Structure 1
Amino acid sequence: METAITHNIKVTVTAVYQPDYSRPLRSEFVFAYQIRIDNLGKRPLQLLSRYWLIWDSNGSQREVEGEGVVGQQPVLYAGDFHEYVSACPLQSDIGYMQGYYVMRYLDGEEEEVKVIVPRFRLQTPFKNN
């Protein structure tokens, strides 16, 4: 589990290898990750978009950008949280993801902030480093 706090927004990530969806002999490894976003501050805000940097130990790297998370742009009031689960395929049995969310405060100011998603490891349980 990895955690980061930016602008009073806490992001916690847990990643798990998905053997039922993976095909190691074809170099296809699927990882699920659960993210919890907690608004520790007093200002309401909305998650607008996401950015991911995904690194695979075979040397490939890709960037993913898009609106919201899993089709949603949740609003978080003071003390609220939002959780979701998504997945990431890799071509090797180890890698990582990191990124950020762009969020906008909803209290009359049109201020947007970047909220860090901490770097988290994607690793099969049978890989020992």
Structure 2
Amino acid sequence: MDVLDIKVRVKTRHLPDHLPSDSKQFAFAYHITIENKSNHTVQLINRYWKITDANGKTSEIEGAGVVGKQPFLKAGEQFEYTSGAVINTPVGNMEGYYEMELESKERFRVPINVFRLAIPSILH
């Protein structure tokens, strides 16, 4: 099967007020836009995330859909959502993939490139 043209864009932001002020953890939001640039209708079935903090500690998250949904994206459509992650250091990164399904029930993975979680001004 040819790789379908599914684009994933990510924007992140630090959430300094999300945790108690004495917390030793750091909260981040990530806003994802998934755009179906193919000629096929696809459905997002599962997600997989690998989250790594600056100490090299990793956690893996996988499950059905995103934010409680398994959206269908027709040709040319996009789906956006916002979720979050909490890590033990002021800098970290995430990467993963979405498992998508065609109307034929054939499944394929859409990789999500590594993106950084960082509090503002920590990196130049």
The question of a shared fold, defined as TM-score above 0.5 by the shorter chain, is answered with yes
Aligned-pair CA distance for 1:25:
4.7
The 8 Å contact of residues 37 and 83 in structure 1, kept in 2 or not, is answered as yes
Structure 1: unaligned runs, 5 residues or longer? 1-5
Query: Counterpart amino acid of 1:45?
Result: V
Name the CA distance, whole Å, in 1 between partners of 2:52 and 2:18.
20
Aligned residues: 122
Moved more, 78-87 or 58-67: 58-67
Q: Is 2:101 the counterpart of 1:112?
A: no
RMSD: 1.4
The aligned counterpart of 1:42 is: 39
Name the CA distance, whole Å, in 2 between partners of 1:26 and 1:73.
33
Q: Is 2:85 the counterpart of 1:123?
A: no
TM-aligned CA distance change 1:24 to 1:58, over 3 Å? farther
TM-aligned CA distance change 1:86 to 1:56, over 3 Å? same
Helix, strand or coil at the partner of 1:98 = strand
Helix, strand or coil at the partner of 1:37 = strand
Kindly, what percent of the aligned residue pairs are identical?
A: 40
Structure 1 counterpart of 2:64, from 60, 63, 67 = 67
Name the CA distance, whole Å, in 1 between partners of 2:101 and 2:88.
35
Name the CA distance, whole Å, in 2 between partners of 1:25 and 1:91.
13
Name the CA distance, whole Å, in 1 between partners of 2:113 and 2:123.
22
The 8 Å contact of residues 23 and 29 in structure 1, kept in 2 or not, is answered as no
Poorly superposed stretches of 4+, deviation over 2 Å: 22-26
Structure 2: unaligned runs, 5 residues or longer? none
Query: Counterpart amino acid of 2:50?
Result: L
Aligned-pair CA distance for 1:128:
2.8
Q: TM-score, normalization: structure 1?
A: 0.89
Q: TM-score, normalization: structure 2?
A: 0.92
Deviation sequence 1:17-54 (CA, Å, 0-9, x none) = 01111457532100000000000010001000000000
Deviation sequence 1:102-128 (CA, Å, 0-9, x none) = 00001xx22101001121100001313
